[in-house]
Chain A
Amino acid sequence: MLKTETITINMGPQHPSTHGVFRMVLTLNGETIVDLKPMFGYLHRGLEKTSESRTYLQAVPFTDRLDYICSMSNNFAYAVAVEKLAGIEVPLRAEYIRVIMAELTRLVNHMLAVGFLFNDLGAWYTPVVYAFRERERILDLFEMASGSRMMCNYIRPGGVAADLPAEFLPQLRKMIPHLENFVREIRFYLSDNEIFKARAVGVGFLPADMAVAYSITGPVLRASGVKYDVRKAEPYSIYDQFDFDVPTQVAGDVYARYLQRLDEMDESLKILRQAVERIPEGEYATKVPSRLRPPKGEAYARIEAPKGELGFYLVSDGSPNPYRWRNRPPSLINLSALREMCLGHKVADVVTILGSIDITLADVDR
Chain B
Amino acid sequence: MQVLDDLWIRIAVWFRGLLESFLPPWAVQLTMDVLGILLLIVLGIVVVLAFTYMERKVIARVGDRIGPNRAGPFGIFQAIADAIKMLTKEDVTPTNADRWLFLAAPIVVIIPAVLLYAVLPLGRGMVGVDLNIAVVFVVAMGGIPILTMLMAGWASNNKYALLGAFRTVAQLISYEVPMVVALLTVVLLAGTMSTVGIVEAQASFPFALVTPVAFVVYMLAGLAELNRTPFDLLEADSEIVAGYFIEYSGMKFAMFFLAEYINLFMVAGMITTLFLAGWQWPILPSWLWFLIKVVLVIFLMMWIRATFPRFRIDQMLGFAWKALVPLSLINLFLVALVAKVLEPGWVRTGVLFVSNLALLAGAIAIMAQVARKREERARAAGEAAIKRYYGSEVR
Contacts and interface: CB of A to CB of B under 8 A. Distances in A.
Direct contact of A and B (CB under 8 A): yes
B208 to A, nearest CB: 23
B122 to A, nearest CB: 30
Interface in B330-358: none
B70 interface: no
A31 B375 CA distance: 23
A98 B311 CA distance: 42
Nearest to B368: A194
A159 B64 CA distance: 38
Interface string B130-163: 0000000000000000000000000000011001
Contact of A195 (B236, B310, B313, B389): B310
A143 B376 CA distance: 45
A253 B314 CA distance: 19
B288 interface: no
A277 to B, nearest CB: 31
A126 interface: yes
Interface string B308-335: 1111111100000000000000000000
A121 B310 contact: yes
Contact of A225 (B160, B377, B382): B382
Contacts of A225: 382-383, 385-386, 389
A112 interface: no
Given A17-B239, A126-B307, A208-B386, A251 B313 contact: no
- Please indicate which of the listed interface residues A122, A123, A250, A255 has the most CB atoms of chain B within 10 Å of its own CB: A122
Given A121-B310, A123-B307, A251-B381, A198 B240 contact: no
A123 B307 CA distance: 6
B89 interface: no
Contacts of B382: 205, 207-208, 224-225, 249-253, 256
Contacts of B59: 124-126
Contacts of A41: none
Nearest to B387: A208
Interface in A207-230: 207-210, 212, 224-226
Interface string B229-249: 110110011111100000000
Contacts of A133: 64
Interface string B360-375: 0000000000010011
Contact of A122 (B309, B315, B371, B378): B309
A351 B238 contact: yes
Interface string A93-124: 00000000000000000000000001111111
A126 B303 CA distance: 11
Given A123-B307, A224-B385, A348 B229 contact: no
Contacts of B312: 198-199, 346, 348-349
Nearest to A121: B309
A144 B81 CA distance: 39
A119 B236 CA distance: 11
A202 interface: yes
A245 B314 CA distance: 39
B236 A348 contact: yes
B311 A198 contact: yes
B232 A122 contact: yes
Given A194-B371, A197-B375, A199-B309, A126 B62 contact: yes
Interface string A241-281: 00000000111110110000000000000000000000000
Given A199-B315, A347-B239, 7 more contacts: A129-B65, A202-B377, A205-B381, A225-B383, A252-B385, A347-B163, A348-B239
20 contacts: A9-B160, A16-B241, A118-B309, A122-B229, A122-B237, A123-B307, A126-B307, A195-B310, A201-B375, A202-B374, A202-B377, A205-B378, A209-B385, A250-B383, A251-B378, A253-B382, A255-B378, A347-B240, A348-B312, A351-B238
Interface of A: 7, 9, 15-17, 30-31, 118-126, 129-130, 133, 193-199, 201-202, 205, 207-210, 212, 224-226, 249-253, 255-256, 346-349, 351
